[in-house]
A = this chain, B = another copy of it.
Amino acid sequence: MKNIDEKYMNLCIDLALKGKGHVEPNPLVGCIIVKNNKVIGKGYHKIFGANHAEVNAVNDALKTTKKLKGSTLYVNLEPCSHFGKTPPCSDLIINHKFKRVVIGLKDPNPLVNGKGIARLKKAGIIVNSGILTNKCIELNEKFIVNVTQNRPYITIKIAQSIDGKIALNNFSSKWITDIFSREFAHELRAQNDCILIGKNSVIQDNPELTVRLVKSLKHPVRIVIDKDLKLTSKYKLLKNKPPLTIIFHSSSKITKDLPHLKYVKLKSDKSIIKMSDVVKHLFKLGYNSLLIEGGAFVYSQFIKENLFDELNVIVAPKIIGDGLSPFKDFKIDRIAKAKELFLKEITLLDKDIVLKYKNY
């Protein structure tokens, strides 16, 4: 039974992946209906706001099968039990008299979290959950961070030399990595709702933070931390041009929003704006993923607050020697206290490589 359940759960995951890039910030969900050991229906969540996977699978099954009574339904995420943009899927399953429901992952969303399962069980349906759980978690890791931590999924991106330097000490080093890595970086930007940098990086690099090197329908919002509002409109990010730039500060200066420039004032703690306050605010504004692009002070703050899910380090095959370290403002007193990550993936670019670490 377990092998068969895993086989169908893998099919659900494959189906779910078809929604990637279209359903976010909703989770990726795929669903399979099996009757007499035969797949009679398939469905997945296709577009944000549209039918859930279960509805699509049921509709698909009903094309060829009159009654679904006695069937088994496979789905990678617990069916919902609340009225959201669509009616609860658990009711749909109960109404069609399914015999068994196999679930990959209990919905981490506090609005569901076991309530869907309870509802199904109460109706006399056999429920097996926890099939290929790790794969199901990985499938929706961004969504899980959003609903359990009420903040965007946070990715830190660093471009450094072999010896871990992000710039020379005289800052005369805009690009350590090559064009292929910059394309990779733009892809990464396009996968995020917003991109955050600190004031110093704006002054040193005057970046645009666009996705101009890749084809993308998405233009991430630019976020700048500028505590004392030192930046002027001479910098590209502050010019009145899309996409939107949001500046977080704690200054008492009077600010004036423009169509493409917004100011958000936050309290500062020991004269530092807490990054947890920034990301909470961004989440409230509806941003579900955030890319951190530096510089060293900003990187260090996110590490200090242990506020990140993923670290992408692009390593150029160069030696810089004396230079700027990415986390120079973070400090530990014993090696046992070093932040330990998990190496998830290595990508070979042209000459550079990307080490992708997860912060579990």
Contacts and interface: CB of A to CB of B under 8 A. Distances in A.
A112 interface: no
A357 B322 contact: no
A358 to B, nearest CB: 9
B328 A322 contact: yes
Interface stretch (A145-153, A169-177, A181-189, A280-288): A169-177
Given A163-B325, A322-B325, A342 B357 contact: no
Contact of A164 (B162, B333, B346, B353): B162
Contacts of A335: 168, 172-173, 175-176, 318, 320
A328 B172 CA distance: 18
Interface residues of A, number: 46
Interface stretch (A88-96, A212-220, A309-317): A309-317
A331 interface: yes
B318 A339 contact: yes
Contacts of A332: 168, 320-321
Contacts of A172: 333-335
A318 B341 contact: yes
A319 B330 contact: yes
A63 B18 CA distance: 66
B319 A163 contact: no
- Total identical chains: 2
A74 interface: no
A315 to B, nearest CB: 7
Interface string A211-232: 0000000000000000000000
Contacts of A357: 162, 317
Given A168-B332, A170-B333, A333-B170, A353 B342 contact: no
Which 3 residue pairs across A and B have the least CB separation, nearest first? A164-B164, A321-B330, A173-B335
Given A318-B338, A322-B329, A322-B330, 14 more contacts: A162-B357, A163-B327, A168-B335, A317-B342, A317-B343, A318-B335, A318-B339, A318-B340, A319-B330, A320-B327, A320-B335, A321-B328, A342-B351, A346-B346
